[in-house]
Amino acid sequence: MKTPLATTLVAGALLASPALAQDKAAQPSADAQTNQMKSPPAGTAMPTPAGGMGGMTMADTATAKIKFVTAKPAEVTSSKLVGKNLYNNKNETIGEVEDLVIDNGKTVTGVVVSVGGFLGMGERYVLVDPSSIFLHKADGKLKAMVDTDKDALKNAPEFKYNKNS
């Protein structure tokens, strides 16, 4: 019981880690935050917050020097989540993780889930808050779970998603 709980807590922290990793001392003032929210001229990179906690940015060229990080062994990579079946508490398959939505290149704000359909026909997509997905690791396998049923997912607002673009 301790391993699934620990895995769930670590996974939850991972999905929210960019927001939790910031130190109050390193956060910019309210004026600096307001200035950061302004869009830069077209074709330029977004400004990096004080303390270097910036994420990926949209730009025509790379303007920041490359940095390397060390991953913790308990972290979950997106490749381990995408393609996973999503189960409910009755251990029924209710969808599949298709993709992750990343806001400003640094925070996972949604998990794209395909629901319904058969062999790719008739499926639709919904966007699920990452905090409502729990991860369980047993026997070296990762399992994604939510507290809902098929009908709730089928009736959820549709997310317009094209996995080919």
Q: Is residue 146 part of a domain?
A: yes
pLDDT in tens, 67-120: 888 877 657 888 999 999 999 999 999 999 999 999 988 899 999 999 987 766
Q: Is 25 part of any domain?
A: no
Burial of 160 (0-12, 13-18, 19+ CB in 10 A): exposed
Give residue 163's pLDDT band: very low, low, confident or very high (50, 70, 90): confident
81: which 2 tokens?
């989540």
Domain count, the chain: 1
Does 23 map to a domain?
Answer: no
Host domain of residue 98 = 78-155
Whether residue 58 is contained in a domain is answered as no
Q: Across the strands, what pairs with 118?
A: 121
- For residue 98, give the CATH number of its domain: 2.30.30.240
pLDDT in the model for residue 122 = 76
Does the pTM of the predicted model rise above 0.75? Answer: no
The burial class, CB within 10 Å (0-12 / 13-18 / 19+), for 133 is buried
What is the tens place of the pLDDT at every residue in 29-68? 444 444 444 444 444 444 444 444 567 888 889 888 898 8
Could you tell me if 137 and 143 are in contact, meaning their C-beta atoms sit under 8 angstroms apart?
yes
- Is position 37 within any domain? no
